[in-house]
Amino acid sequence: MRVFMGAVVFMLAALPIQARAQEVTGRASVIDGDTIEIRGQRIRFDGIDAPEARQRCEDASGSAYRCGKISADALDAFLANSRPTTCQITGKSWDRLVGTCRRADGADVNRWMVQQGHAIDWPKYSRGRYAADQRQAQARRRGLWAGRFEWPCVVRGAKCE
């Protein structure tokens, strides 16, 4: 009985460690508009896609601009307003973790990027979770939606479906 109780106590004590292993918290460094790094872990935002660092888009007047840089800079400024960042890890893709991230004040980072037009909803992975946010950004002509752009997955040469 003692051995059994000891095993139960050990398992219960291990639960918070396992739960914390599904989260990464710390000061985020921006890699690009949909990827950050916290404590050496690269985390890609689940369900969204942002312009590539080298990507160029057109504004409302047809002038080219570096939309990938604008996206990354907007993310950096947004994260700087409320630290630290916590990411709930939902999976892994290549060499990165995948997750939904929140600032210290609770703001959903993934959602904010889509709402501001700095990223797009990627239905293949979001299952439409950010579709309404994207429709609002489009209607308000925010960020990418103010002009013309290629889908980031097309720029990467990947399938967008």
- Segment 55-109, tens digit of pLDDT: 999 999 999 999 999 999 999 999 999 999 999 999 999 889 999 999 999 999 9
Where does the pLDDT of residue 14 fall: very low under 50, low under 70, confident under 90, or very high at 90 and above? very low
3-state secondary structure of 28: coil
List the CATH code of the domain at 24-155: 2.40.50.90
Contact 112, 47 (CB under 8 A): no
Where does the pLDDT of residue 8 fall: very low under 50, low under 70, confident under 90, or very high at 90 and above? very low
Q: At residue 11, does pLDDT exceed 50?
A: no
